[in-house]
């Protein structure tokens, strides 16, 4: 199924206005949100880093020979 640009524009415009206004989303500027998200990841890494990790521990990937 193909959509014309007009149909697509209409569809996106049809998204309820409320759907575009995330609660609290408008309050913080994007740079501040990005900074906070980077900081969250740093905090997660710090929490993980506290755990003693035996040297031989391999990551939880599953590799399969093709």
> Which residues contact another protein by CB under 8 A?
1-3, 8, 11-12, 15-16, 18-26, 28, 30, 33-34, 36-38, 40-41, 43-45, 47-51, 53, 57-62, 64
Q: How far is the CB of 63 from another protein (least distance, A)?
A: 9
Q: How far is the CB of 42 from another protein (least distance, A)?
A: 8
Q: In whole angstroms, give the CA distance from residue 15 to residue 18.
A: 8
Task: Answer whether 13's CB lies under 8 Å from 6's CB.
Answer: no
Q: How far is the CB of 56 from another protein (least distance, A)?
A: 10
């Amino acid at each position: 199924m193909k959509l014309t640009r007009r149909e697509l524009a209409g569809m996106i415009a049809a998204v309820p206005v409320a759907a575009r206004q995330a609660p609290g989303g408008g309050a913080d500027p994007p740079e501040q949100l990005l900074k906070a998200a980077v900081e969250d990841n740093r905090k997660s890494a710090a929490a993980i880093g506290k755990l003693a990790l035996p040297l031989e521990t391999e990551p939880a990937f599953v590799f399969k020979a093709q």
